[in-house]
């Protein structure tokens, strides 16, 4: 990783671009060590989702500070800026952050087609701000059982290169105009081929060594559509993938109007990690 950092710094100098602060600043040995950093991916239009998360599984005020100090768990909403930085959308998020103090701003232009880049920037930013064992990415329409998630991650704390989540390998869609179309479908071979194995985007975690790898090599990690970027270290067999399996069950607290919504009210049980749809929370 030191060689990669030196190479990246040299390339930045030769190309005339500024050197990343991550490469210029040595890691402080006095940094507090946390168990995990949870980044909740959100958008400008998702204020109601953020309020639902705040009202349920994300502690507020002193309770969140206590969670950070005593349990070593950092939770932040993750968002970039608008195409017209400093506009009305950005000012609204800044006002929201002044009220709650739970938003991490990224140097990234928000957009659905830029989710892969946003994920990379989140991991690189989080690893530079907090020294943690794990870095978690979760969507803002997911509700998490923090205690069970922490227990699950602690069991794998001593293992190197951990990439943990609900693993899948979906089809590569070549048809234009359909949802989840992959512009670079031809790189995956014949029609009907599938993506390489990866964690579903709703919730997954990576260990610090992988987050550091992404931070150092983010400029060479190739991005695919649908919030995916190529895990080169995984393709080289350097990453330990832990397959977490479970069954879909109906969660009673996600029943709307007395009737289960079969298409959205399922709760994916990832060895005890409760994940539900925030969109079903009423009031």
Instruction: Give the count of domains, the chain.
Output: 1
Residue 173, in any domain of the structure = no
Residue 231 within a domain = yes
Residue 270 forms part of a structural domain:
no
Indicate which CATH number applies to the domain containing 211.
3.90.550.50
- Does residue 20 lie in a domain region? no
Per the structure, the complete domain to which residue 129 belongs is given by 31-167+198-245
More confident residue, 232 or 268: 232
Report if residue 264 sits inside a domain. no
- Average pLDDT, integer, range 185-211: 82
Measured at the CA of 207, the angle between CA 12 and CA 139, to 5 degrees, comes to 90
For residue 272, is pLDDT > 50?
A: no
- CA angle in degrees (0–180, nearest 5) for 165-111-267: 30
Strand pairing report for 240-243 and 248-250:
unpaired
Highest mean pLDDT among 148-152, 165-169, 235-239: 148-152
Q: Is the pLDDT of residue 109 over 80?
A: yes
In a domain, 280, yes or no: no
Most distant pair of Cα atoms in the chain: their distance: 64
Residue 71 located in a structural domain = yes
Using DSSP's 3-state secondary structure scheme, residue 123 falls into helix
Residue 210's SS3 state is helix
What is the rounded distance in angstroms from the CA atom of residue 229 to the CA atom of residue 238? 16
Query: Mean pLDDT for the chain?
Result: 75
Instruction: State pLDDT tens for residues 11-59.
Output: 655 555 444 444 444 444 467 899 999 999 999 999 999 999 999 999 9
Can you read off the two tokens belonging to residue 44? 């400008």
Per-residue pLDDT band at 255 (split at 50, 70, 90): very low
pLDDT tens for 117-162 read 888 899 999 999 999 999 999 999 999 999 989 998 999 998 888 8
Residue 138 forms part of a structural domain: yes
């Amino acid at each position: 990783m030191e060689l990669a950092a030196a190479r990246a710094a040299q390339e930045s100098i030769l190309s005339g671009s500024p050197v990343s602060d991550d490469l210029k600043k040595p890691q402080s040995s006095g940094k507090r060590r946390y168990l995990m950093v949870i980044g909740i991916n959100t958008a400008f239009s998702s204020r109601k989702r953020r309020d639902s998360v705040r009202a349920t599984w994300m502690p507020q005020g002193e309770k969140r500070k206590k969670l950070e100090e005593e349990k070593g768990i950092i939770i932040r909403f993750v968002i970039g800026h608008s195409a017209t930085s400093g506009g009305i959308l950005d000012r609204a998020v800044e006002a929201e952050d002044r009220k709650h103090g739970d938003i991490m701003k990224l140097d990234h232009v928000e957009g659905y087609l830029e989710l892969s880049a946003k994920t990379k920037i989140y991991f690189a930013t989080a690893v530079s701000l907090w020294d943690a064992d794990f870095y978690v990415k979760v969507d803002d329409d997911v509700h998490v059982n923090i205690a069970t998630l922490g227990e699950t991650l602690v069991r794998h704390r001593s293992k190197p290169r951990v990439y943990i989540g609900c693993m899948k390998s979906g089809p590569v869609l070549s048809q234009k105009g359909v949802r989840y179309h992959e512009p670079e479908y031809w790189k995956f071979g014949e029609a009907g081929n599938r993506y390489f194995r990866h964690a579903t985007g709703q919730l997954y975690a990576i260990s610090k060594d992988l987050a550091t790898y992404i931070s150092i090599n983010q400029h060479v990690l190739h991005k695919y559509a649908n919030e995916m970027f190529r895990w080169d270290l995984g393709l080289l067999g350097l990453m330990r993938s832990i397959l977490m399996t479970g069954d879909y069950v109906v969660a009673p607290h996600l029943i709307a109007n007395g009737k289960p919504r079969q298409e959205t009210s399922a709760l994916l049980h990832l060895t005890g990690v409760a994940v539900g749809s925030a969109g079903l929370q009423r009031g």
